[in-house]
Amino acid sequence: GDSVTQMEGPVTLSEEAFLTINCTYTATGYPSLFWYVQYPGEGLQLLLKATKADDKGSNKGFEATYRKETTSFHLEKGSVQVSDSAVYFCALSDPAETSGSRLTFGEGTQLTVNP
């Protein structure tokens, strides 16, 4: 079945450092890929998405590129802020779903940014 693997956390960075959180996936066909963010005590918010190979999703300075050849969707940000401290989830959606979609989530990566 489908699966998502994220780099192990937690990740601790200083403010203005470069961020990479690795995500690889296993799926049949061509899934849509997502990054969700969860701030402390809250639900998940969609951060960015990509629906086909070589698409780049971007939002709030975060970027991720859909790499079919390496089955990856790594999250990057050039300069992190303290307010980026949160848990980040990589997820995929099975394109074979013809109605409401099931998401398969990775384990989540806790990011802490220190001033």
Partner 1 sequence: DGGITQSPKYLFRKEGQNVTLSCEQNLNHDAMYWYRQDPGQGLRLIYYSQIVNDFQKGDIAEGYSVSREKKESFPLTVTSAQKNPTAFYLCASSIVGRGQAKNIQYFGAGTRLSVL
Binding site for partner 1 (CB under 8 A): 4, 32, 34, 36, 41-46, 49, 51, 89, 93, 97-103, 105-108
The alpha carbon of residue 5 and the mean position of all alpha carbons in its chain are separated, in whole angstroms, by 10
Characterise 47 by phi-psi region: left (phi > 0), alpha (psi -120 to 50), beta (else).
alpha
- Shortest approach of partner 1 to residue 78 CB, angstroms? 25
With respect to partner 1, which residue has the nearer C-beta, 17 or 58?
58
- What number of other Cβ atoms are within 10 A of residue 38's Cβ? 16
> CB-wise, 82 or 96, nearer to partner 1?
96
- Residue 66 and residue 29: Cα distance in Å, rounded? 14
Shortest distance, position 23 Cβ to partner 1, whole Å: 12
